[in-house]
């Protein structure tokens, strides 16, 4: 059955895959963007800082389902531009979610592993959030708004998405290109995440939205891995020189915003209830490297 979708952030790393997949599935797709026009779906220019325009757009489109991906995603920028991060990640989310509730549209809010402090590994959905930086705080405040709304919603938290995008260079691609050009690079040995292959995430998000699965769910890859180990895996798969990988530690990084040391997510709920299962890093990387080869 064709569903009318409205997707925000539709030209972003995750959004561009989601709208492409939705169009392929023959859904009616309204692709909202700010600066970068999306390739798939019916494009709608919508600055999410313009609250009246958000309401007006939702009233005009009347979506059955909304996948809200747009956000201020630069973690260090959010730390210094707190008001901007609040307006985009919290207030805009509130306006969309309230309007969605009025129009009885199902709402999927894509959130982040950075709502956690990183003191424990493989957090389940009910683990208590405690963000270290402002980006995580603003995304958590978006979650809290939904928790207080009597409507149909799902909070889908993901971790280190990687995929192919014209502007955003994912971590695995940075590793591949650096090693191929024989460049030494410093890679963190003590930062652990659950890297997520974007096409796998996109299918899980679409399943959540079409089956209207409510509550909080962790949608990430199925493997907890350090940045360094991930870089080693890539060099092994491509037969590149591992000695170019210089192990470094999070305490040596000169970041404006603190990052959790371990933001890996437990995905047992997704494995149990979804048809599209979270992929292991071995599988996700194979698919990613294959996809890169095919676009050469």
Residues that bind ligand NAP (CB under 6 A): 8-9, 11-15, 33-36, 46-49, 69-71, 73, 88, 110, 112-113, 139, 158-161, 168
Q: Which residue is nearest to ligand NAP (CB)?
A: 12
Which residue number, 73 or 235, has a Cβ lying nearer to ligand NAP? 73
Minimum Å gap between C-beta 196 and ligand NAP is 8
Shortest Å distance, C-beta 175 to ligand NAP: 16
Residue 70 CB, nearest approach to ligand NAP (Å): 4
Task: Indicate the burial class of 35 (C-beta count within 10 angstroms; 0-12, 13-18, 19 or more).
Answer: exposed
DSSP state of 87: I
Residue closer to ligand NAP, measured from CB, 28 or 81? 81
Contact of 149 with 106, CB cutoff 8 Å: no
Of the two residues 192 and 240, which places its CB atom closer to ligand NAP in the complex? Answer: 192
CB-nearer residue toward ligand NAP: 138 or 235: 138
Residue closer to ligand NAP, measured from CB, 193 or 240: 193
Please, what is the minimum distance in Å from the beta carbon of residue 86 to ligand NAP?
13
Query: Least CB distance from residue 140 to ligand NAP, whole Å?
Result: 11
Dihedral sign of CA atoms 176, 177, 183, 186 in order:
negative
Long-range contact set of residues 85-90: C-beta below 8 Å, sequence gap at least 24: 85/134, 85/135, 85/138, 86/138, 86/141, 87/49, 88/48, 88/49, 88/138, 89/135, 89/138, 89/139, 89/141, 89/142, 90/138, 90/141, 90/142, 90/145
């Amino acid at each position: 059955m064709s569903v009318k979708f409205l997707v925000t952030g539709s030209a972003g790393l995750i959004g561009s895959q989601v709208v492409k997949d939705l169009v392929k599935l023959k859904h009616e797709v309204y692709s909202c963007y700010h600066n970068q026009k999306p390739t798939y779906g019916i494009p709608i220019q919508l600055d999410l800082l313009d609250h009246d325009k958000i309401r007006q757009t939702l009233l005009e489109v009347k979506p059955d389902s909304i996948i809200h991906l747009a956000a201020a995603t630069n973690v260090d920028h959010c730390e210094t531009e707190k008001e901007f991060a609040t307006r985009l990640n919290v207030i805009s989310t509130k306006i969309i979610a309230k309007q969605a509730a009025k129009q009885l549209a199902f709402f999927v809010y894509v959130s982040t592993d950075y709502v956690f402090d990183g003191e424990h590994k493989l957090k389940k959905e009910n683990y208590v959030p405690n963000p270290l930086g402002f980006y995580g705080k603003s995304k958590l405040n978006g979650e809290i708004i939904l928790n207080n709304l009597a409507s149909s919603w799902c909070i889908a938290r993901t971790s280190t998405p990687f995929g192919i995008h014209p502007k955003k260079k994912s971590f695995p691609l940075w590793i591949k290109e650096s090693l191929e050009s024989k460049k030494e690079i410093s890679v963190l040995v003590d930062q652990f995440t659950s890297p997520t292959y974007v096409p796998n995430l996109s299918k899980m998000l679409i399943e959540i939205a079409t089956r209207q699965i409510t509550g909080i769910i962790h949608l990430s890859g199925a493997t907890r891995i350090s940045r360094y180990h991930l870089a080693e895996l890539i060099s092994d798969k491509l037969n590149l020189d591992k000695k170019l990988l210089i192990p470094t530690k999070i305490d040596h990084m000169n970041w404006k915003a603190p990052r959790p040391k371990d933001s890996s997510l437990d995905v047992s709920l997704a494995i149990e209830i979804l048809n599209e299962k979270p992929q292991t890093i071995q599988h996700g990387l194979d698919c990613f490297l294959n996809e890169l080869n095919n676009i050469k």
